[in-house]
């Protein structure tokens, strides 16, 4: 009995230490060493405060921000998922039509990019297509009192190419773009304050 139990206990202990302790620690160490940003959730900070992750979408509704894809789960990462509605679903069709109607009335564009009216499979997609971003430039430009050409330049600068130039399509990370817009506004506010200070002196 002991001759059979001892090897089993030893093997269980060794495998627990290897797969339950050594391997996770090794992978964590390698991740922190080689990919520290990704290993720590690819967090984005603004003025010293974490505002989100570049991997998880957020809901933006104010006019001065670019809006992302709709989400069936309100961008809740703990319950990611889609609507699971078939293309023949009346509820899905009505929702898409209503979103397209609202965006068309706002922009004057008849053909609205599909990613602005449909949610992704995860409900957490942080990206939109460049076409969807270009469609929002005029609204953001007016709301922030920034020339449309500059907003366009920022959209182009934040357009990410396909992975390795082969997989996927160009995309714009909505949170990163909106943070860049806020940073620009903060920098301009600082310049104005400095100029006002100099004038006051």
**Residues 81 and 20 reside in one and the same domain:** no
pLDDT (0 to 100) of residue 200: 35
Q: How far apart are CA 126 and CA 143, in angstroms?
A: 22
Shared-domain flag, residues 31 and 68: no
- pLDDT digits 0-9 by tens, 145-166: 999 999 999 999 999 999 877 8
**Whether residues 1 and 68 fall in one domain:** no
65 and 34 in one domain?
no
Find all residues with CB under 8 Å of 46, minimum gap 6, and list them: 179, 182, 183
- In this structure, the answer to whether residues 125 and 68 fall within a common structural domain is yes
Per-residue pLDDT at 170: 95
Is the domain of 154 the same as that of 141?
A: yes
Residues 32 and 127 in one domain: no
pLDDT in tens, the chain (201 residues): 777 788 888 888 999 999 999 899 899 889 888 878 777 778 888 888 888 899 999 999 999 999 999 999 999 988 889 888 998 999 999 999 999 999 999 898 989 999 999 999 899 999 999 999 999 999 999 999 999 999 999 999 999 999 877 888 999 999 999 999 999 988 766 544 444 443 333
| Domain, as residue range, for 16 | 1-40
Say what the pLDDT of residue 195 is.
40
- Do 139 and 62 reside in the same domain of the chain? yes
For the full predicted model, state whether its pTM sits above 0.75.
Answer: yes
Can you tell me which residue has the tokens 């949170």? 175
Do 95 and 156 belong to one domain? yes
What pLDDT does residue 191 have?
A: 46
**Structural domains counted in the chain:** 2
DSSP letters, the chain, are: -HHHHHHHHHHHHHHHHIIIIIHHHHHHHHHHHH-HHHHTTTEEEETTEEEEETTS-----STTS------TTTT-GGG-------TT-HHHHHHHHHHHHHHHHHH--SS--GGGTS--SSS---EE-HHHHHTTHHHHHHHHT--HHHHHHHHHHTEEPPBTTTBS--EEEHHHHHHHHHHHHHHHHHHHHHHHHHHH-
The model's pLDDT over 78-105, given as tens digits with 9 standing for 90+, comes to: 888 988 899 899 999 999 999 999 999 9
Give the β-pairing of 159-160 and 171-173.
Answer: antiparallel
Same domain, 83 and 176: yes
Q: Are residues 8 and 95 both part of a single domain?
A: no
- Say whether both 189 and 102 belong to one domain: yes
At residue 37, the pLDDT reads 77
């Amino acid at each position: 009995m002991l001759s059979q139990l001892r090897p089993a206990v030893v093997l269980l202990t060794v495998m627990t230490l290897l797969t339950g302790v050594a391997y996770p620690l090794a992978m964590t160490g390698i991740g922190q060493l080689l990919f520290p940003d990704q290993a720590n959730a690819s967090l984005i900070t603004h003025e010293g405060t974490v505002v989100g992750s570049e991997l998880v979408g957020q809901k933006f509704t104010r006019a001065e921000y670019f809006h992302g894809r709709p989400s069936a789960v309100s961008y809740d990462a703990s319950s990611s998922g889609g609507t699971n509605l078939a293309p023949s679903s009346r509820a899905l069709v009505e929702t898409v039509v209503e979103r397209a109607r609202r965006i068309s009335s706002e922009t004057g564009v008849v053909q609205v990019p599909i990613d602005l009216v449909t949610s992704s499979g995860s409900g957490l997609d942080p990206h939109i297509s460049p076409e969807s971003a270009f469609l929002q430039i005029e609204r953001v430009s007016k709301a922030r009192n920034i020339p449309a050409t500059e907003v366009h330049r920022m959209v182009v600068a934040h357009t990410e190419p396909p992975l390795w130039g082969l997989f996927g399509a160009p995309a714009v990370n909505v949170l990163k773009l909106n943070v860049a817009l806020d940073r620009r506004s903060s920098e301009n506010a600082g310049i104005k304050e400095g100029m006002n200070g100099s004038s006051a002196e």
